[in-house]
Amino acid sequence: MFAAEADSLRELAGAKAIRVPIPVCYGEAAGKSWLVTEFIAFGRGAGDSAQLLGRQLAAMHRHTSEQFGWTRDNTIGSTPQQNSRMDNWVDFYRERRLRFQFELAARNGFTGLLQAKGERLMQSLNVFFTNHAPEASLLHGDLWGGNRAFDEAGQPVIFDPAVYYGDREADIAMTELFGGFGADFYAAYQEAWPLDAGYSVRKTLYNLYHILNHANLFGGGYASQAENMIDQLLAET
């Protein structure tokens, strides 16, 4: 996990778009694993910090690959995340993201309607991409509010990534999942690189991955939330 995180941070740093803590070293000792990164003192953010984050994230997303996925697998939380490369984004998202989580959910006891509806959704994915052909953008992969901050100079910092190359909308959708990043951030991102029509529907599709993962990690009401999201998506097909 830490080796993949170190590689993820280096991948993000290589885009030269947003500051990340540079990994120093990682390893194992006395039955424990560890990762050491650069120390960054956090501040409160300046008046234009949110806008700067929006512009810098758009610049990072313009760092692209020829295929979807990445050079190695990593984790989303503590869940394995498969990144074997594919040429087609819809196939990648179906097989490497949704199907993996649905199969894990079945092993965790979430069967019945969740699985039946999930299968229907996976067979209908092309409907959501009729007029949307995303590039393989460099993604943070787990970009919720707890994984971004600002340094003492007000510069954005992102960390704890689950890197891969995919639809940039997946990162933007994640920013909206647990409270949002604020209007200034979204306005600046849209000005730098406007989102395609249909994002308001696809963001539910992309956040379904994270809610399924939360169901697999924490149980509780996340499975019901995932089923409600699937119902919303199926109503669009």
What's the rounded Cα separation, in Å, for the pair 3 and 69?
17
Query: Residues 170, 44, 193, 128: what is their CA dihedral angle, to the nearest 10 degrees?
Result: 20
pTM summary value: 0.96
* Contact between 38 and 10 (Cβ < 8 Å): no
The 10s digit of each residue's pLDDT in 114-161 is 999 999 999 999 999 999 999 999 999 999 999 999 999 999 999 999
Domain containing residue 68: CATH number: 3.90.1200.10
179 pLDDT tier (thresholds 50, 70, 90) = confident
Which residues are catalytic, by number? 142
pLDDT at 47 over 90: no
180 pLDDT tier (thresholds 50, 70, 90) = confident
pLDDT for the residue 46: 83
Query: Residues 106, 199, 195, 185: what is their CA dihedral angle, to the nearest 10 degrees?
Result: -80
Residue-averaged pLDDT of the chain: 96
41 pLDDT tier (thresholds 50, 70, 90) = very high
User: Residue 154 corresponds to which tokens in the numbers above?
Assistant: 């007000």
Give me the domain span that covers residue 8: 2-234
How many domains does the chain contain in total?
A: 1
